[in-house]
Chain A
Amino acid sequence: MTAIQTAPANPLAHGRLHRRTPWMVLGLSFAVAAGVLSLLAAAGTIGSLNLIAVAVLGTVFYIVSIGVLSSQVEGRRQATDRIVTAVVTTAFVLAVIPLVSLVFTVVANGLARFDVQFFTFSMRNVVGEGGGAVHAITGTLLMTGTAAIISIPIGLLTAIYLVEYGRGPLARAITFFVDVMTGIPSIVAGLFAFALFALFFGPGVRMGFAGAVALSVLMIPVVVRSCEEMLRIVPNELREASFALGVPKWLTVLKVVLPTSIAGITTGIMLAIARVIGETAPLLIVAGFTASMNTNLFADRMQSLPVFVFTSYANQGVDFQADLDRAWAGALTLILIVMVLNLAARLIARFFAPKFGR
């Protein structure tokens, strides 16, 4: 390559590859891969020139050649570093492909019905085309919001208990049960909430609040688990410094531990909300299905976006395209709602977080 410096006399120092060299190697690798494959295609060994094959082969070429080159010039340790950098970046690109494909699918299909009517109309008395999901959006916001109001304080306080106070059998029991709870199938949570409410209100009970309780059962363990992890990595030095200054424990937790881990906790809570906001099965059981607007959490059926999406997909009428379009638009809306919530939470978290070195 162009810029290999001569090895200096100092035995501890090594030559370095020029900043641009890896990029050039990358380009060359892809060119070679494309060349080899098109030769093979011309020779008839493989069917046709495949972009994915070029990408795969090019990446392999790059990893090998940068490794060899770097170990020749820079030594084994630097070569390992370069290879790992390449592998990590590849992992990232590899993972991004399905995620981008997914987002693209949702956006491309969802835009067809992403219009004003979708956000102002319910499905009451709508057959075939038209109609909207305002009743489902309202229901989702109300039920998920209620679930969050129930789950976040309980979950966060429990995480604080486990990290700051808890020891002995109770803490172990809580940890144990929370772990088990992360694996409850959502439909079972729905059945549980239904059984609980049917006990008090009779078998015909369908209400948004019951849906919120079902979601809470699913949400609490996620909140506890992620918040616990985030509280645990707050360095003890901070707590000890606070105690040494005579700050009471509760204020230490409130003013030192929580702000330090606020970014992580926000992420954890958003993950928990995201986990439950897309739940279909439990809400279909306890909150029911309706085409009309309902803003009362404590009476009557309440529609939610995931149920809306699922039933639109599963029970298509003769004009099935209208149902499919509504389903995709509902999915897009759901993602956008979480996006807005996420953005708001992050801004607030950043506002309260202490300023770190990084």
Chain B
Amino acid sequence: MTATTPRPASAEALPAKPAIRLGDLLFSRAALWSGGLILVILAAVAIFLVAQSIPALTADPADFVGQPASFLDYVWPLVFGTLWSAALALVMALPLAIGIALFISHYAPRKLAQALGYLVDLLAAVPSVVYGLWGIGVLAPAIQPVYSWLVDNAGWFPLFAGPVSGTGRTILTAGIVLGVMILPVMTAICREVFLQTPVLHEEAALALGATRWEMIRMAVLPFGRPGIISGAMLGLGRALGETMAVAMVLSPQAIVSFALLQSANPSTIAANIALSFPEAYGVNVNLLIATGLVLFLITLAVNSIARYVVNRRKDFSGAN
């Protein structure tokens, strides 16, 4: 990306001024204006969020539903739940997504690979309501015995502390549902990037006697690293902001707890908005929008970190 237009080393070697073509001008302007327009839209959303949040930040906390001691008191369990469930989802989904993408791009027979890629793309379209229905109707009852077993046999491990949830609707289940939801997006991006690995790199590696795995490790993964991180960020963005599926699957309380298998779980910001918004009125609406602003900031922080990582590694990647 850094060196798309090679600039002339010295001005005298070229005609005084290169002619600017109309097409070039129009095209670059259109691109520029689109970028500017996005900035305007997004800034408008940000302004809206901030303006709507201010009443909640200045209001007396006693006016809020549930009478929390302060705004921070209200939002902290939600922040924790948001990060915790998204982290669970990412930890489970990222290795799987890379595995599926590699399987489709470098392991499966070509014909099968295309069909599989297609199937995975489709799953990105399943509405979150359906993931929610699947979560309560199929996943939670199926996985509850496993949870019971874990609590009985590994209850000494803090994450698996009891008492076990009787319905299986815990934060781990929500994490699994989120993981399944973000899997298609991450897989699709990883797969496309892996497929774009320059064939020459791959063939060079193979010609040097590398096994398939060594070829992937030396050529495909370094080339795809920024893509993997981009995919992970898109997935994480969805996991952080997912509303309906979490609201339907999770059994939430206003607590902070790492325990994975209990009835009482921390809720997430987005799910809390969905659960509380319909009955909210007055300053409570502002309160919910303020939590939305917090989510905004979380996403910002997470994405900035990821950006930083990508940019730092850029010089070593196989991409431009």
In the complex, A268→B231 CA distance in Å? 11
Complex: A301 Cα to B62 Cα, angstroms: 37
Q: Which B271-320 residues sit within 8 Å CB-CB of chain A?
A: 273-274, 277, 289, 292, 295-296, 298-300, 302-304, 307, 319-320
Neighbouring B residues of A277 by C-beta, 8 Å: 125, 127
CA distance A85 to B216 in the complex (A): 11
Binds B, one of A3-11, A33-41, A127-135, A154-162: A154-162
Please measure, in the bound complex, the distance between the C-alpha atom of A153 and the C-alpha atom of B126, giving whole angstroms: 25
A84 vs B212: C-alpha distance in the bound complex, in angstroms?
Answer: 9
CB-CB nearest in chain B for A253:
B27
Given A181-B45, A183-B237, A183-B295; A309-B226 close (CB under 8 Å)? no
Q: A91-B103, A187-B277 are in contact. Are A99 and B123 (CB under 8 A)?
A: yes
Residues of A within 8 A of B183 (CB): 95, 99
Identify the closest chain B residue to A264 (Cβ): B192
User: Is B273 a contact of A185 with CB atoms below 8 Å?
Assistant: yes
Cα–Cα distance between A313 and B127 once the two chains are bound (Å): 13
Binds A, one of B9-17, B92-100, B155-163, B249-257: B92-100
For chain A residues 297-323, which have a beta carbon within 8 Å of chain B? 305-306, 309-310, 313
Residues of A within 8 A of B21 (CB): 248, 250
A261 to B28 alpha-carbon distance, docked (Å): 19
Q: Are B4 and A164 in contact (CB under 8 A)?
A: yes
B307: chain A residues within 8 A (beta carbon): 175, 179
The answer to whether A185 and B31 touch across the interface, beta carbons within 8 angstroms, is no
Segment of A61-69, A114-122, A221-229 in the binding face: A221-229
**B31 contacts which of A164, A186, A248, A305 (Cβ < 8 Å)?**
A164
Residues 143-168 of chain B: 1 if any A CB is under 8 Å from the residue's CB, otherwise 0?
Answer: 00000000000000000000000000
A343 and B295 alpha carbons, distance in the complex (Å):
35
Q: Is A177 engaged at the interface, CB distance under 8 Å to the other chain?
A: yes
Interface size of B in residues (CB-CB distance below 8 Å): 110
Query: What are the interface flags for A180-194 relative to B under an 8 Å C-beta threshold, 1 for contact and 0 otherwise?
Result: 111111111101100
Whether A166 sits at the interface, judged by CB under 8 Å, is yes
Closest Cβ–Cβ distance, residue B111 to chain A (whole Å): 13
The answer, yes or no, to whether A339 is at the interface (CB within 8 Å) is: yes
CB distance from B247 to the nearest CB of A (A): 10
Interface string of B123-138 (1 = CB under 8 A from A): 1111111110110011
Q: Are B38 and A224 in contact (CB under 8 A)?
A: yes
Using an 8 Å CB-CB cutoff, how does the interface string of B11-43 with A read, 1 for contact, 0 for none? 000000000010110111011111111110111
Looking at B5, B49, B196, which has the most chain A CB atoms within 10 Å of its CB? Answer: B196
Is there a chain B Cβ closer than 8 Å to A233's Cβ? yes
A222 — which chain B residues lie within 8 A by C-beta?
234
**Max count, chain A CB within 10 A of own CB: residue among B52, B98, B292:** B292
A235 touches B123 (CB 8 A): no
Q: Does any Cβ of B come within 8 Å of A87's Cβ?
A: yes
**Which of A17-25, A203-211, A286-294, A330-338 contacts its partner?**
A330-338
Classify chain A: how many residues form its interface, as a range: 35 or more
Name the distance in Å between A228's Cβ and chain B's nearest Cβ.
8
Bound CA–CA A187/B271 (angstroms) = 10
Q: Please, how many angstroms separate the alpha-carbon atoms of A128 and B213 in the complex? A: 58
Given known pairs A92-B103, A179-B233, A338-B125, the reply for A98 and B180 (CB within 8 Å) is yes
The 8 A CB mask of B219-233 against A (1 = contact, 0 = none) is 000010011001101
Contact of B5 among A87, A249, A331 (CB under 8 A): A249
Cα A180 to Cα B50 in complex, Å, equals 14
B291 → A minimal CB distance (Å) = 9
By beta carbon, the residue of chain B nearest A77 is B211
CB pair B26–A250 under 8 Å, yes or no, is: yes
A275 x B238 contact (CB < 8 A): yes
C-alpha spacing A232/B102, complex, angstroms: 20
Cα A162 to Cα B107 with chains together (Å): 33
B56 in contact (CB, < 8 A): no
- Residue of B33, B35, B292, B298 most packed against chain A (CB within 10 A): B35
**B261 on the interface (CB 8 Å rule)?**
no
A342 interface hit (Cβ, 8 Å):
yes
- For the complex, give the distance between the alpha carbons of A267 and B180 in Å: 19
B22 to chain A, nearest CB (A): 9
Interchain CB contact under 8 A, A171 and B100: no
Chain A residues with Cβ under 8 A from B37's Cβ?
154
Contact in complex: A177, B127 (CB < 8 Å): no
Given contacts A101-B134, A183-B241, A248-B23, 19 further A-B contacts (CB under 8 A): A95-B96, A160-B31, A165-B31, A183-B240, A188-B45, A188-B289, A217-B45, A233-B196, A233-B227, A235-B320, A236-B320, A249-B27, A264-B196, A267-B188, A278-B126, A281-B274, A309-B130, A335-B126, A358-B199
State the B residues within 8 Å of A (CB).
1, 3-6, 21, 23-24, 26-28, 30-39, 41-46, 48-49, 52, 95-100, 102-104, 107-108, 118-131, 133-134, 137-139, 176, 180, 183-185, 187-189, 192-193, 195-196, 198-199, 211-214, 216, 223, 226-227, 230-231, 233-234, 237-238, 240-241, 243-244, 269-270, 273-274, 277, 289, 292, 295-296, 298-300, 302-304, 307, 319-320
Q: Can you identify 30 A-B contacts, CB atoms within 8 angstroms?
A: A85-B213, A91-B103, A95-B187, A99-B120, A99-B183, A101-B138, A102-B134, A105-B138, A106-B126, A158-B35, A179-B233, A179-B303, A181-B42, A183-B240, A183-B299, A184-B45, A184-B292, A184-B296, A185-B269, A185-B270, A187-B243, A220-B41, A225-B233, A226-B189, A229-B227, A233-B320, A236-B4, A239-B4, A338-B125, A342-B125
